[in-house]
Amino acid sequence: LPGNAEWQTRKEAAMARGEGNIAPLYVERAEGSEVWDVEGRRFIDFGTGIAVCNTGHRHPKIMKAVNEQLKRFSHTCVMVTPYDSAVLLAEALNKIAPGQSPKKSMFVTTGAEAVENAIKIARSHTGRRGVIAFDGGYHGRTLMTLGLTGKVAPYKNRFGPFPGDIWRAPFPKPYHNISVEDSLAAVDMLFKTDVAPEDCAAIIVEPVQGEGGFYPAPNEFLKGLRERCDAFGIVLIIDEIQSGFARTGRLFASEYAGIEPDLMTLAKGLAGGFPLAAVVGKAEIMDAPAPGGLGGTYAGSPIGCAAALSVIDVINDENLTERAIHIGQKFGEALRSLQAEHPDLIGDIRSDRGAMIAIELVHNGNANQPNAELTKAVLTRCYEKGLIVLSCGMDGNVFRFLPALTITDELLDEGISTFTAAFIDCAK
């Protein structure tokens, strides 16, 4: 049977190189927090398919719900002849979305599509064109979302021109000396230099910046954006695609700031491994586009909807928000003792948003000297040692840890030890 190396050779010959892969690890099967490759090697999964399998691989309840759905039908198109699971899921999401205002939902298939639709809805509601996003933000790879994404390499290089009417402000990063005041002042400056607030449809922000480096948005920052949106009738879009569904220790990360989003984009963890995305928001905003104005052939696949309904149950039944906090604390302790040994190399630890955890690797303990080489070396070593882990960040020097929230303490400890050992190997 072909092994990893042969599959990798064939992949490189058959698939466009733009769709790169982190490791030549060809998956045979996955269960809970473990993945086995085609050579029979077993890995602990701290990546969960980029924050998708928050409920672990093949959670029995989710598998059962999907199997039940498969016995009934797999596709009819929600825009032609809809079905119960889409309505039930919309009702459930409307109920769990933060804030008191009546909510409505719409479904698509990917995160980028959810963001595209949120912008369309905001523009339709306001009749305005401008959108403000943030440096280091990531919102997807389609053209509008690439326009919003604030990171050139590898996402934007040579893919322009991008849509107009998008402006960007710095995202607050205390570790890099960008304060909440700096960021909010930059937004206020955009209102003078680029887009009148009366011409601004939306501000879109991640409550924990994801691909850009796992920087939690300070509560005062989100509150400041909420105030500006309220003052000028701008739609506040909170992109919870990576941070949502109990990942950060709250069902949605914006709950830390206690703000009510106007619109929220959801994907990834929403359906625990099945392709589904949603926009959930204030009913009067969601209803701005006329019938037929939104949708897509696979919008709200019945398989995804069945999975998502079950994901919500599992999060509640297994107290996964609490588990996320426990996971963050465990990582925090381990990473702080590693940092104490290597203060020159581990510049910052971000572990106060549940299981959305990161460390930033630097030279000489200097925030302005990113250590991408060490990050890459440790990453490779982790895969050699049997751990799936991801990096991120504007300078490729951030490790992000996204274990399943259902992970056992034994596997969590084992995975953390593997990471620590890999780090020590490479730091020598």
Is residue 241 close enough to count as binding ligand PMP by CB under 6 A?
Answer: yes
CB of 50 to ligand PMP, least distance (A): 6
Is residue 115 close enough to count as binding ligand PMP by CB under 6 A?
Answer: yes
- Mention every residue, 6+ apart, whose C-beta is less than 8 A from residue 222: 205, 207, 238, 254, 257, 259
**Interface region with ligand PMP, contact rule CB under 6 A, candidates 39-47, 204-212, 330-338, 366-374:** 204-212
First to last CA, the chain: 37
Q: Which helix (H) or strand (E) holds 314?
A: helix 302-317
Q: Tell which one of 45, 211, 348, 360 touches ligand PMP (CB under 6 A).
A: 211
Q: Which is nearer to ligand PMP, 51 or 90 (CB)?
A: 51
Is residue 125 close enough to count as binding ligand PMP by CB under 6 A?
Answer: no
Is residue 379 close enough to count as binding ligand PMP by CB under 6 A?
Answer: no
Specify whether the CB–CB gap between 287 and 64 falls below 8 A.
no
Residues 51-90 touching ligand PMP, rule: CB under 6 A, are none
Q: Tell which one of 110, 183, 406, 418 touches ligand PMP (CB under 6 A).
A: 110
d(CA 243, CA 254): 9
Q: Quick one: CA torsion of 140, 390, 3, 386, rounded to 10 degrees? A: -160
- Mention every residue, 6+ apart, whose C-beta is less than 8 A from residue 237: 115, 118, 119, 122, 202, 203, 204, 205, 261, 262, 263, 264, 265
Q: Which is nearer to ligand PMP, 115 or 309 (CB)?
A: 115
Task: Select the residue whose beta carbon is closest to ligand PMP and give its number.
Answer: 111
d(CA 46, CA 409): 13
Q: Which is nearer to ligand PMP, 117 or 397 (CB)?
A: 117
Q: Which two tokens stand for residue 217?
A: 């948005």
Is residue 206 close enough to count as binding ligand PMP by CB under 6 A?
Answer: yes
d(CA 416, CA 277): 31
Is residue 402 close enough to count as binding ligand PMP by CB under 6 A?
Answer: no
Q: Which is nearer to ligand PMP, 210 or 396 (CB)?
A: 210
Is residue 239 close enough to count as binding ligand PMP by CB under 6 A?
Answer: yes
Q: Which helix (H) or strand (E) holds 84?
A: helix 84-96
Is residue 267 close enough to count as binding ligand PMP by CB under 6 A?
Answer: yes
Q: Which two tokens stand for residue 93?
A: 């999401």
Q: Which is nearer to ligand PMP, 399 or 423 (CB)?
A: 399
Q: Which is nearer to ligand PMP, 149 or 371 (CB)?
A: 149
CB of 402 to ligand PMP, least distance (A): 11
Is residue 107 close enough to count as binding ligand PMP by CB under 6 A?
Answer: no
Q: Which is nearer to ligand PMP, 138 or 252 (CB)?
A: 138
d(CA 41, CA 387): 11
Residues 133-192 touching ligand PMP, rule: CB under 6 A, are 138-140
CB of 267 to ligand PMP, least distance (A): 5
**Interface region with ligand PMP, contact rule CB under 6 A, candidates 82-90, 191-199, 239-247, 364-372:** 239-247
Is residue 242 close enough to count as binding ligand PMP by CB under 6 A?
Answer: yes
Specify whether the CB–CB gap between 293 and 124 falls below 8 A.
yes
Q: Which is nearer to ligand PMP, 239 or 360 (CB)?
A: 239
How many CB atoms lie under 10 A from the CB of residue 411? 18
Q: What angle do CA 311, 317, 323 make, to 5 degrees?
A: 90
Is residue 355 close enough to count as binding ligand PMP by CB under 6 A?
Answer: no
Q: Which two tokens stand for residue 188?
A: 């206020």
CB of 145 to ligand PMP, least distance (A): 7
CB of 420 to ligand PMP, least distance (A): 26
Q: Which is nearer to ligand PMP, 169 or 374 (CB)?
A: 169
Q: Which is nearer to ligand PMP, 147 or 210 (CB)?
A: 210
Is residue 50 close enough to count as binding ligand PMP by CB under 6 A?
Answer: yes
CB of 1 to ligand PMP, least distance (A): 31
d(CA 49, CA 398): 17
Closest CA to 318 of 51, 31, 88, 59: 59
DSSP state of 6: H
* Site size for ligand PMP (CB under 6 A): 15
Q: Which is nearer to ligand PMP, 115 or 131 (CB)?
A: 115
How many CB atoms lie under 10 A from the CB of residue 367? 14
How many CB atoms lie under 10 A from the CB of residue 292? 7
Would you tell me which residues interact with ligand PMP (CB under 6 A)?
Answer: 50, 110-112, 115, 138-140, 206, 210-211, 239, 241-242, 267
